[in-house]
Amino acid sequence: MALTIELGVAELAATRFAISPLSETVACLQQLSGRDHNPAHLRWLRWAENQLADTPLDLSHTWPLLVSTRPNWPEFLVPAPQGAAATIEDDLGALRGTTAWQVRASLSRVFGGDLPPAAADVAAHPAAGLRAISDELRLAYERLVAPHWARIRAVLEADITYRARQLALGGTEKLFADLHQDLRWHDGSVRLTGERAGEPTTWSAAGPAGWS
C-alpha cells in the first residue's frame, strides 16, 4: 500500500519545521503498545514500563482510538504544531479546539460506519470527549515525556537544523532524500510506502522529526 501526496507551490510554501510535545507523547504511547517499535528506544521503554507497573495511567478514552486493529488513528489526536516553541498546553488547546464535524469525520475515516464504543462515545459528545482525551494525554506527557523533554527537544532542534541545511543546499528533493526510508519525493509528489502509508502524515522523534 502506498500513499501519494501531490504538493503544489502553495503547499510547499506552507511547509514548515515544528516541534510538538503532544506528537512525541502519542509516539511514546505507540511504542508502549508495541506498534512501530524502534530498538533505539528500548532503554526508555524499560524505564516507562517500570513507571507504569507501579502506577498505571488511565487512558480509557485515548487508548482505544490510538491502538486498534486499524492501520491509522484519528488525526485530531496530533493536531499540526503551532510552531517551534509550542508547549504541551498549546498542543492540547489545539486538540480541544477540533470541531465536532472534524471529530466525527476523522473517526469515520478510521473506523468506518460501525464505530467501536470508545469512538462512538467521542462522536456523540465531541467536546466532552476531547476534554477527557486532553486530560489523559497531559498526564501521559507529564509522566512519560516531561522527565526527558530537554533531551528530546535538543535532538529535535538538531534535526531541524540539519533538515533546514538540506533544504538550503538541495531544495525539496534533497530534504526528502533521507527523511525516512519509506518517504520519497518524485515528480512533485511525496510518496509514502510501507505500514505507515495508512497513518496521518505527522512525524515525530519516533520517526522523522519536526516536519509537518
The span from the CA of 126 to the CA of 97, in Å, is 10
Residue 68, burial from CB neighbour count under 10 angstroms (0-12, 13-18, 19+):
middle
pLDDT at 205: 39
Asked, for residue 210, whether it belongs to a domain, the answer is no
E strand or H helix at 128: helix 126-140
Predicted pLDDT at 102:
97
At residue 3, the pLDDT reads: 66
> CA torsion angle for 77, 81, 84, 89 (degrees, to 10)?
-60
Distance between CA atoms of residues 174 and 74, nearest Å: 30
CA distance 132 to 135: 5
Q: H or E stretch including 169?
A: helix 149-177
Grade residue 208 by pLDDT with cuts at 50, 70 and 90. Answer: very low
**203 is a domain residue:** no
* Residue 2, φ and ψ in degrees, nearest 5: -135, 150
Residue 204 lies in a domain: no
Q: What is the side-by-side strand order in the sheet with 2-6?
A: 2-6, 189-193, 183-186
pLDDT digits (tens, 9 = 90+) for 83-129: 777 899 999 999 999 999 999 999 999 999 889 999 999 999 999 99
Length of the chain: 212
Domain containing residue 136: 2-198
What is the rounded average pLDDT of the residues 21-47? 87
**Mean local confidence (pLDDT), 75-79:** 94
8 Å CB contact between 195 and 183: no
First to last CA, the chain: 21
Residue 93 belongs to some domain of the structure: yes
Q: Is residue 205 part of a domain?
A: no
51 within a domain of the structure (yes/no)? yes
Site of grid cell 502506577: 55
Number of structural domains (the chain) is 1
89 part of a folded domain: yes
Q: Is residue 212 in a domain?
A: no
